[in-house]
Structure 1
Amino acid sequence: MYKVDTPTTDEEFDKYFQFRWLMLRKPWNYPIGSEKDEYEQVGIHRMVVNANGDVIAIGRLHFNTPEEAQIRHIAVHPDYHGKGLGKLVVSALEGVARNQGIERIVTNSREISTPFFKSCGFEVVGEATTELGQLKREQMVKKLTELNAVMLHPKWCKELQDTWYETIPISEQMGIKLYQYTGRTLEVRASLNKNINLHGTMFAGSIFSLATLSGWGMLFLQMKEKNLSGEIVLGDADIHYHKPISLQPRAICNIESVSGKFEQLAKGRKSPFKLQVDIHDGHNPVAEFKGVYWVLPPTEEQQ
């Protein structure tokens, strides 16, 4: 699993800026040093490194006004495209902005990057000044609201939540709610009070239902990411309980645990997917759910 780090040492900053130059300036024949600007000393810098310590993704945030922050220099190594690292960095920078009470984040996106920023919740509001004197850019804005505070794709997340409540009404009675989606991690929570047994802990069956819906939800959102559709059904499942839940039921599914072939769906074929959902009581791990789901391609009536 990848995590976002903050460069602190001179060596880390050297690697960080070298990567920025390689990804964002060298392709346009700009010299070393052109990757820096006047905001470096006051900017918020984030990066992702691989197991070898090599920088593979970066991004920076700086504040324009007490209400507005700007994201710049998002870059991911080509070998790591498609792994959600760009969104991971944007999410980390956005978290800093929210903690500072920022109301909106802006970015000036190159045309090729506009779809990426749209997937992160930004909207195009006009044209921006050209970059390096030759690259056309669009000004994009994301207003920070409670709805998109923890959800990468708030519209998809709302659709998922509505689907649960409409097709499985008991999920609403259990207080099951989508808590966070980052593109790589889905967290779903449930109300303990609505699922409590005579021992003051959560029913085992309720834990199983929470895990099952979380795995289903991760596949639902991943299919949205890939512009695919189909019917998701649980084929097999196994859960191991270690401790009871007596505080806050949390189900967490990470994209690294998901295995399956989405390209089969694109070809109109059904495909099995395996995944794991970790159950926590607050911050304490208490159970693991492993499920096998089948995704069936849509019928002609559904298309």
Structure 2
Amino acid sequence: MSQPAYDLQQVLHHDIPLTREMGLEVLDWQAGVLRLQLPLAANVNHKHTMFGGSLYCAAVLVGWGWLHVRLREAGIDDGHIVIQQGQIDYPLPVTTTAVAHCDAPDEASWQRFVAMYQRRGRARLTLHTTVANAGSETAAVEFTGQYVLHR
């Protein structure tokens, strides 16, 4: 596990205790991509699939985590990240360990976000995340979230 991934896992488990109970682990941070995982056993529902609330948390947290790590890399550590709005779809059940994934937004969006934060002390960024069954590339969950960074 890379140092940014390790540091993020510590932040999540300390600042959001629910992540420990869910068994959330940071898998890796590589080339601007963050991946988290959740075990089925700690998040199972009555249908023996992953609970929708746990999947929502994973989808939100992988975006929050992506933004947290990327801001640290950019030398910005004076703000607070909150999720302002989210839209989620559950096209498939998750029947194994869940892997949540967040890619970087396009560079122009990132640069606008940073410039706005530096100028006004508040900025919004839309991130797209997915959650899949471990070993699958097919998204079982698709999430679009609007994250706000404010001083």
Taking structure 2 as the reference length, the TM-score comes to: 0.89
Corresponding residue for 2:13? 165
| Matches for 1:1-303 after TM superposition, within 5 Å | 147=1, 151=2, 154=3, 156-229=4-77, 230-256=79-105, 259-260=109-110, 261-267=113-119, 269-282=121-134, 283=136, 284-297=138-151
Letter in 1 for 2:117: L
Deviations, residues 86-131 of structure 1 (Å, cap 9, x unaligned): xxxxxxxxxxxxxxxxxxxxxxxxxxxxxxxxxxxxxxxxxxxxxx
Offset, 1:161: 1.0
Offset, 1:227: 0.4
Offset, 1:287: 1.4
Whether contact under 8 Å (2:5, 2:27) holds in the other structure is no
Deviations, residues 143-164 of structure 1 (Å, cap 9, x unaligned): xxxx3xxx3xx1x322211111
Distance across 1 between alignment mates of 2:70 and 2:120: 17
Which structure is richer in relative contact order (CA contacts within 8 A, separation 6 or more)?
A: 2
Offset, 1:180: 1.1
Offset, 1:234: 0.5
2:23 partner SS:
coil
Over alpha carbons, which structure has the higher Rg? 1
1:295 partner SS:
strand
Deviations, residues 35-55 of structure 1 (Å, cap 9, x unaligned): xxxxxxxxxxxxxxxxxxxxx
Distance across 1 between alignment mates of 2:80 and 2:118: 13
Offset, 1:256: 3.3
Q: Where does structure 2 lack aligned partners over 5 or more consecutive residues?
A: none
Distance across 2 between alignment mates of 1:271 and 1:183: 23
Distance across 2 between alignment mates of 1:280 and 1:257: 22
Structure 1 residues 165 and 210: CA distance shift in structure 2, 3 A: same
RMSD: 1.5
Q: What is the aligned-residue identity percentage?
A: 25
1:194 partner SS:
helix
Deviations, residues 59-104 of structure 1 (Å, cap 9, x unaligned): xxxxxxxxxxxxxxxxxxxxxxxxxxxxxxxxxxxxxxxxxxxxxx
Deviations, residues 195-238 of structure 1 (Å, cap 9, x unaligned): 00111100000000011110000000110111012100010001
- Larger % of helix: which? 2
2:105 partner SS:
helix
Letter in 2 for 1:262: V
Deviations, residues 12-42 of structure 1 (Å, cap 9, x unaligned): xxxxxxxxxxxxxxxxxxxxxxxxxxxxxxx
